[in-house]
């Protein structure tokens, strides 16, 4: 009995399957697929959505109104902030739904639709858009959840059937709208005080002054409290005693129904935070915020108001850091950071910052023995020979260049006392994992660290503010562009490669000349990727202008190809390192657009680094196929196919949507050509085709077809044992013997 699937037909079927899959993936990507980035660290948070969970008393935080990069959910435990979920809905107002007993996010879409998502504990579950009241469209409306009944109150400006703006208040519960009456003009924020049974709104009176209004269930009433900055309220939380803490740009205030309390400023430089009153201690907390303006110093912080003094809590990184040195230690799965320009009390800190783990972990600021002097723009890498982080050179605050070498074993820094490369601006470093050498370049010469000493290897390119990365596939170090000589304006679009003996410089079509970009090896794409950076034009009527880039390019060893995915956006002066969690995962740290503790994780196309292997499976045994896939499996979808048909779990089939396929009690009809399809948010990748035969002639299932199979079958057949029913007709007879002999004769 032979399989009906001929090799030619198999090729045709898989061609059709892959065409269909490619069409589906392409339609979802639309040519500009944006793969989700999420934050491991807390990063910059401008007025994040916050909520005090009424059942646990824990503070919940989601996202940031400043950047759509943050779609993550955090809970503040006694030990600090804990990341509980990545990915989620649009930014809105977070409440606790008393009916479903789940956190709820409500927002209004750009199309004027009311949308909501509930957090189930595992993911944010979206609902369909809420139907608006009859003959109404949303102009400017605020909303809040009644924490007693679970009904929503929506108040503000609506458009009626004639297109005329009307000030109205509506109640929404159980799918039905009830008109309640008028509404204050220009409300900017609303919340509900469960203890007082009142809805409270901050209102923009006339574009210059703000006020507090309350809804008593029948009417809106002006409280008489007015302050200019009340029109800037963006967030609020409600304590169990009914006290409402308002927060927004440059403000924090608490309303108890009688008096507007004004805590002292958190920080003269800190703005745009969210705030809440701790129901246990009674103290006020400020969460998030920024320092300065534009892309100037920024930070995430959690501060507690104790009496009249603000006390910093959970400040995972002290402030913005630019030009920091950092490297990934694959032995301990940690990021190690040092130095970098900063602001505030942490300026020129000598602390070593270590990040442990890749999800929900935290940073450690270590006061390490014999710490190196502070510096910025140092080169850092990992030495596989000694198993230590190595750091070279850098620049002091008054532009003095350094040439000292330091090694970090995870506890202590030790200065290397032997000869080192000369002082140089912006040295760049990469680790050649094939030769176990750390390569250093940047000032017309090339050096290598062999685990014990520096070796001068010869001349090299002179670059500034560039990056060097090792390509393990082609066993070369790659650097692109960079400024030629500090202080000059001469740039070259050069791709430079080091093979361990000499440099090769070529001018290739591809990315525009730039500096300050990031570079890394992407195992999923199989090449070196550069992203972001900037280029300053000097001269002309405006003097000088700077272009910032948000593109990404892939170098395959011969040419550059622009990627359809903007992997890092406008990435400037950041550290980018591969994660140990699998090919295709990288992290970006630092730079003026990214706080040091905001680690952004990016995954490219799914990557299979162990293909499923076909072969023979004895009849009656378990048919097993396995693959190893890089990346976060929670973000990937898997599906096994046999002979072009999707497999599903059930009966003898298990693991059809995992990387481990199992088919119990293998039968002849289970034979065929198998393929694993892996899909993420952007695209799909298919495995190699694995051809599996069910080998009936291997009667004793020892993996070989030989004389012992024949003898064992004859013994079973002569004894009329059921396993000798070779054709499966329920009877052991001559036809079973003849079919076995035929299969035995062809070898399977």
pLDDT band for position 177 (cuts 50, 70, 90): very high
pLDDT band for position 359 (cuts 50, 70, 90): very low
pLDDT band for position 65 (cuts 50, 70, 90): low
pLDDT band for position 389 (cuts 50, 70, 90): very high
Query: Is pLDDT of 202 > 60?
Result: yes
Query: Is pLDDT of 388 > 90?
Result: yes
CA distance 459 to 447: 9
Q: DSSP label at 658?
A: S
Higher model confidence: residue 85 or residue 474? 474
Whole-number pLDDT of residue 263: 62
Question: Would you state the CATH architecture of domain 325-603?
Answer: 6 Propeller (2.120)
Beta strands 615-618; 690-695: pairing state: parallel
Report yes or no: 85 and 120 within 8 Å, Cβ to Cβ.
Answer: no
Query: Is pLDDT of 355 > 50?
Result: yes
- Kindly report the CATH class assigned to 7-32+607-695: mainly beta
Query: Is pLDDT of 2 > 70?
Result: no
Higher model confidence: residue 70 or residue 646? 646
**Per-residue pLDDT tens for 407-430?**
999 889 999 999 999 998 878 899
- Two tokens, residue 454: 């520096």
pLDDT band for position 537 (cuts 50, 70, 90): low
Query: Is pLDDT of 492 > 70?
Result: no
Whole-number pLDDT of residue 637: 82
All residues at 6 or more sequence positions from 127 whose CB lies less than 8 Å from its CB, including other chains: 115, 116, 117, 118
CA distance 719 to 740: 16
* Per-residue burial over 17-33, b = 16 or more CB atoms within 10 Å of its CB, e = otherwise: beeebeeebeeebeeeb
> How many C-beta atoms lie closer than 10 Å to residue 201's C-beta?
25
Helix (H) or strand (E) holding 691: strand 690-695
**Per-residue pLDDT tens for 616-660?**
888 888 999 998 775 555 567 888 999 888 899 999 999 999 999
Whole-number pLDDT of residue 187: 92
Report yes or no: 686 and 698 within 8 Å, Cβ to Cβ.
Answer: no
Taking alpha carbons only, the member of 71, 74, 70, 47 closest to residue 60 is 74
Phi–psi pair at 330, nearest 5 degrees: -70, -20
Q: Which of 63-72, 644-653, 711-720 has the lowest mean pLDDT?
A: 63-72
Distance spanning both ends of the chain, measured CA to CA: 10
**Per-residue pLDDT tens for 498-528?**
999 999 988 888 888 887 777 777 665 678 8
CA distance 99 to 197: 17
Higher model confidence: residue 182 or residue 328? 182
- Two tokens, residue 640: 């096994």
């Amino acid at each position: 009995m032979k399989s009906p699937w001929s090799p030619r037909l198999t090729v045709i079927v898989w061609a059709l399957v892959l065409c269909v899959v490619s069409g589906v993936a392409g339609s979802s990507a639309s040519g500009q697929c944006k793969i989700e980035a999420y934050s491991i660290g807390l990063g910059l948070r401008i007025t994040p959505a916050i909520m005090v969970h009424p059942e646990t008393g824990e503070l919940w935080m989601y996202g940031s109104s400043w950047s759509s990069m943050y779609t993550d959910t955090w809970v503040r435990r006694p030990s600090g902030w804990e990341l509980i979920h990545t990915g989620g809905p649009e930014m809105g107002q977070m409440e606790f739904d008393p009916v479903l007993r789940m956190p709820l996010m409500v927002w209004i879409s750009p199309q004027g639709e009311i949308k909501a998502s509930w957090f189930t504990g595992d993911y944010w579950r979206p609902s369909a858009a809420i139907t608006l009241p009859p003959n109404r469209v949303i102009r400017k409306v605020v909303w809040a959840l009644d924490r007693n009944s679970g009904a929503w109150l929506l108040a503000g400006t609506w458009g009626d059937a004639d297109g005329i703006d009307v000030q109205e208040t509506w109640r929404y519960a159980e799918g039905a709208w009830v008109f309640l009456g008028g509404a204050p003009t220009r409300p900017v924020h609303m919340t509900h005080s469960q203890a007082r049974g009142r809805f409270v709104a901050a209102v923009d009176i006339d574009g210059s002054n703000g006020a507090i209004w309350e809804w008593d269930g029948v009417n809106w009433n002006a409280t008489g409290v007015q302050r200019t900055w009340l029109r800037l309220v963006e967030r609020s939380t409600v304590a169990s005693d009914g006290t409402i803490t308002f927060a927004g740009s440059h403000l924090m205030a608490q309303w108890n129904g009688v008096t507007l309390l004004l805590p002292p400023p958190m920080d003269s430089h800190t703005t745009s935070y969210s705030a809440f009153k701790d129901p246990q201690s009674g103290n006020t907390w400020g969460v998030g915020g920024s320092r300065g303006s534009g892309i100037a110093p920024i930070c995430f912080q959690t501060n507690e108001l104790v009496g009249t003094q603000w006390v910093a809590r959970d400040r995972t990184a002290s402030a913005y850091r630019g030009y920091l040195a950092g490297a990934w230690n694959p032995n301990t799965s940690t990021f190690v950071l040092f130095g970098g320009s900063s602001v505030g009390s942490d300026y020129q800190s000598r602390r070593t910052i270590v990040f442990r783990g890749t999800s929900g972990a935290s940073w450690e600021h270590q006061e390490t023995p014999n710490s190196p002097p502070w510096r910025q723009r140092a080169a850092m890498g990992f030495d596989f020979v000694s198993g230590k982080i190595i750091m070279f050179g850098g620049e002091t605050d008054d532009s003095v260049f350094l040439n000292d070498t330091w090694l970090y074993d995870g506890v202590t820094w030790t200065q290397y006392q032997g000869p080192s490369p000369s002082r140089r601006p912006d040295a760049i470093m990469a680790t050649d994992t094939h030769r176990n050498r750390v390569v250093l370049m940047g000032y017309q010469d090339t050096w290598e660290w062999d685990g014990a000493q520096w070796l001068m290897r010869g001349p090299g390119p002179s670059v500034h503010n560039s990056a060097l990365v090792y390509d393990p596939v082609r066993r070369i170090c790659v650097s692109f562009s960079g400024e030629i000589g500090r202080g000059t304006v001469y740039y070259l679009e050069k791709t430079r490669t080091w093979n361990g003996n000499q440099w090769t410089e070529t001018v290739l079509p591809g990315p525009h000349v730039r500096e300050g970009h990031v570079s890394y090896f992407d195992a999923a794409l199989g090449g070196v990727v550069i992203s972001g950076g900037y280029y300053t034009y000097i001269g002309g009527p405006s003097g000088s202008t700077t272009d910032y880039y948000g593109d990404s390019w892939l170098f395959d060893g011969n040419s550059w190809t622009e990627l359809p995915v903007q992997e890092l956006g406008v990435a400037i002066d950041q550290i980018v390192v591969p994660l140990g969690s699998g090919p295709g995962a990288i992290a970006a740290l630092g730079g003026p657009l990214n706080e040091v503790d905001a680690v952004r994780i990016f995954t490219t196309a799914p990557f299979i680094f162990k293909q499923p292997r076909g072969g023979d499976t004895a009849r009656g045994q378990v048919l097993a196929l396995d693959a190893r896939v890089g990346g976060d499996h929670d973000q990937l979808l898997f599906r096994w196919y046999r002979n072009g048909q999707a497999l599903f779990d059930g009966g003898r089939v298990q693991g059809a949507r995992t990387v481990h396929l199992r088919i119990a009690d293998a039968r002849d009809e289970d034979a065929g050509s198998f393929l694993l399809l892996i899909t993420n948010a952007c695209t799909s990748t298919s495995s190699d085709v694995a051809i599996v035969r069910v080998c009936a002639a291997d009667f004793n299932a020892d993996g070989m077809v030989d004389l012992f199979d024949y003898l064992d079958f004859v013994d079973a057949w002569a004894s009329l044992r059921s396993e000798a029913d070779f054709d499966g007709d329920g009877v052991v007879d001559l036809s079973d013997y003849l079919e076995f002999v035929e299969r035995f004769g062809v070898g399977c």
